[in-house]
């Protein structure tokens, strides 16, 4: 499915009910000439920046953009006009709108459906699928939606949703659509276009045996990743924090929450019961592959986990790589925070007190479990957070570039960035001697991971490093490394540490979103770094 064939609907929807047939016909004619953005992003296009790197302008033509927001365009103008480094400005100009420009495959504003006032504690009366606004956001060069990726891709626009009704509808639709995905297949990480979109499912070449079974017309891939479920919650809590709206608390959303909690309960169980007898896990995954990171051992179960920790199993990481020890600490930390934030939202909406209390207690107990079982002693770095544990005493000390990560714990609101244990951990994972996946070469450095290999670091890790640092010099170094390696005017998935011309994915919307979020955070907190001495903060 090419962009040219899928984006006609997106623009027609963005026009709303007043769009005429003539407008739609003209758009269809224009869209036939829209290039596939995967190919488009791999080449350079004018006008170029005035900086020494001569960065290209990589936004698609206006007629080919999948969604538009005047508020986003205004931020682009406000920020780029103030950034001193013209190459950095061009990179922001391309990156900030990248999700809207290229990945909104389908959106409907749900006109005519029954909705609640944002101040109402009542749920929608309807309990049928695809009610209200709906939004399908793909990760980029794969025409499927990852719960985690789409949540992060939209995160940078949340602060603008209160002032832009179109963004409000877009994000509300994304919450509603994710709720449907969670209800249908809560163990799965990536999903096909919803049936009402009229878009065809994407065939997968993988040969997987998964339990519970899933419908391939609904699911693109079914790797159980705890952070995917935490991301579903985060999309809603961030929407509330920025808009004050609780209108996404529909019957369908509550049903998704109930489904999610059932998964958490099932995945909190040990491998063996009190009589030391094996208890079958509700989820198993096997893939025909020659890559060990793409499947689970022991016939799809994974390595044994001990009981009594209070932690929740995650079969896969946000990189989509298999965990070694299933008690994966970063998503447990993220879920602990999101359960408590979700309780706050439901309480604000006047929701059931018992549910509010349950979510608060679940979050607090999980938070305590992370501190109790996820913190280990290192001979060099003292107390640090482990990446993964198994409850038997085994631990994995490393970090991966994908979010959630140990490096990102402050961004997840789990820990203050000045916390001693976090800083011990940060030192460990940003040194080659402490983190096997901290990669350093002649041209680039940063955290990588097994997903790509032993020579590629991820720009995303440098952006997280910048956002969790108070050091001006460290922030500048990280930003400059990302800038200098983004020669196509877009942020890549990974970069070869010895040759920045070797990269994976010219078009990776998640990485571009994280770059834009980093620049906006610097603009608000340390504006002089990018705007020059004496610059006033820029806050959305």
Q: Is 35 helix (H, G, I), strand (E, B) or coil?
A: coil
Comparing CA positions, the residue from 324, 50, 295, 16 lying closest to residue 166 is 16
Burial of 146 (0-12, 13-18, 19+ CB in 10 A): buried
Q: Where are the domains of the chain?
A: 34-97+437-539, 141-434
What is the DSSP-derived secondary structure letter of residue 157? T
List Cα–Cα distances, 538 to 70, 475, 495, 507, 519, in angstroms: 18, 17, 30, 28, 10
- Return the half-sphere exposure (C-beta side, CA atoms, 13 A cut-off) of residue 362: 22
Q: What is the total residue count of the chain?
A: 540
SS3 of the chain: helix, strand, coil, percent, to 5? 40, 10, 45
Q: Which two tokens stand for residue 238?
A: 């961030």
Q: What is the pLDDT of residue 32?
A: 66
pLDDT (tens, 9 = 90+) of the chain, 540 residues, equals 333 333 333 333 332 333 333 333 334 444 568 999 999 999 999 999 999 999 999 999 999 999 999 999 999 999 999 999 999 999 999 999 999 999 999 999 987 432 222 333 333 434 689 999 999 999 988 999 999 999 999 999 999 999 999 999 999 999 999 999 999 999 999 999 999 999 999 998 899 999 999 999 999 999 999 999 999 999 999 999 999 999 999 999 999 999 999 999 999 999 999 889 999 999 999 999 999 999 999 999 999 999 999 999 999 999 999 999 999 999 999 999 999 999 999 999 999 999 999 999 999 999 999 999 999 999 999 999 999 999 999 999 999 999 999 999 999 999 999 999 999 999 999 999 999 999 999 999 999 999 998 999 999 999 999 999 999 999 999 999 999 999 999 999 999 999 999 999 998 999 999 999 999 999 999 999 999 999 999 999
Cα–Cα distance between 163 and 156 in angstroms, integer? 14
The correct CATH number of 141-434 out of 1.10.10.10, 3.90.1150.10, 1.10.8.100, 1.50.10.10 is 1.50.10.10
Q: Is 529 helix (H, G, I), strand (E, B) or coil?
A: helix
Contact 14, 107 (CB under 8 A): yes
Cβ neighbours of residue 329 closer than 8 Å, sequence gap 6 or more:
311, 370, 374, 385, 386, 387, 388, 389, 406
Place of tokens 């001697």: 433
Burial of 22 (0-12, 13-18, 19+ CB in 10 A): exposed
Q: What is the pLDDT of residue 119?
A: 33
pTM summary value: 0.92
Q: What is the pLDDT of residue 25?
A: 38
Q: What is the pLDDT of residue 144?
A: 96
Within 10 angstroms of residue 273's Cβ, the number of other Cβ atoms is 11
Cβ neighbours of residue 476 closer than 8 Å, sequence gap 6 or more:
529
Q: What is the pLDDT of residue 127?
A: 63
Q: What is the pLDDT of residue 298?
A: 96
Q: Which two tokens stand for residue 26?
A: 């003209």
């Amino acid at each position: 499915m090419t962009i040219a064939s899928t984006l006609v609907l997106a623009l027609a929807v963005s026009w709303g009910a007043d769009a005429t047939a003539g407008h739609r016909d003209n758009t269809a004619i224009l869209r036939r000439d829209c290039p596939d953005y995967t190919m488009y992003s791999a080449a350079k296009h004018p006008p170029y920046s005035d900086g020494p790197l001569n960065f290209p302008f990589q936004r698609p033509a206006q007629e080919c953009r999948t969604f538009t927001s005047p508020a986003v365009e205004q931020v682009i103008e406000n920020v780029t006009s103030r950034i001193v480094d013209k190459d950095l400005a061009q990179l922001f100009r391309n990156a900030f709108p990248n999700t809207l420009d290229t990945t909104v495959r389908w959106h409907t504003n749900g006109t005519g459906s029954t909705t609640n006032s944002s101040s109402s504690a009542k749920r929608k009366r309807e309990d049928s699928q695809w009610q209200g606004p709906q939004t399908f956001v793909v990760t980029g060069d794969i025409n499927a939606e990852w719960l985690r990726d789409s949540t992060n891709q939209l995160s940078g626009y949340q602060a603008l949703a209160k002032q832009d009704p179109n963004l409000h509808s877009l994000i509300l639709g994304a919450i509603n659509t994710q709720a449907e995905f969670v209800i249908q297949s809560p163990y799965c990480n990536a999903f096909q276009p919803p049936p009402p979109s009229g878009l065809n499912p994407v065939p997968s070449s993988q040969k997987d045996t998964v339990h519970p079974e899933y419908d391939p017309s609904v699911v693109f891939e079914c790797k159980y990743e705890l952070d995917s479920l935490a991301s579903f919650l985060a999309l809603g809590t961030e929407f509330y924090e920025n808009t004050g709206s609780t209108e996404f608390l529909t019957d369908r959303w509550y049903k998704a929450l109930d489904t999610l909690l059932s998964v958490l309960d099932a995945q909190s169980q040990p491998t063996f019961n009190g009589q030391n007898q094996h208890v079958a896990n509700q989820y198993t995954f096997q893939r025909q592959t020659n890559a060990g990171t793409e499947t689970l051992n022991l016939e799809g179960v994974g390595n044994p986990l001990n009981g009594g920790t209070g932690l929740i199993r995650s079969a896969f990481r946000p990189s989509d790589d298999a965990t070694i020890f299933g008690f994966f600490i970063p998503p447990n930390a993220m879920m602990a925070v999101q359960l408590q934030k979700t309780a706050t939202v439901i309480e604000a909406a006047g929701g059931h007190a018992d549910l509010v209390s349950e979510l608060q207690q679940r979050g607090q107990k999980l938070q305590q479990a992370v501190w109790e079982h996820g913190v280990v002693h290192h001979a060099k770095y003292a107390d640090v957070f482990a990446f993964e544990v198994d409850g038997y005493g085994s631990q994995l000390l490393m970090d991966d570039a994908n979010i959630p990560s140990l490096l990102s714990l402050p961004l997840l609101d789990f820990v203050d960035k000045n916390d001693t244990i976090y800083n011990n951990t940060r030192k460990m994972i940003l040194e080659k001697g402490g983190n096997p996946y901290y990669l350093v070469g002649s041209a680039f450095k940063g955290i990588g991971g097994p997903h790509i290999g032993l020579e590629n670091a991820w720009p995303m890790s440098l952006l997280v490093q910048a956002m969790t640092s108070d050091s001006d010099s460290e922030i500048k170094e990280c930003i400059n490394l990302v800038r200098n390696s983004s020669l196509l005017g877009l942020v890549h998935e990974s970069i070869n540490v010895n040759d920045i011309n070797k990269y994976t994915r010219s078009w990776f919307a998640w990485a571009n979103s994280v770059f834009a979020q980093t620049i906006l955070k610097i603009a608000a907190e340390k504006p002089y770094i990018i705007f020059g001495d004496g610059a006033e903060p820029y806050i959305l």
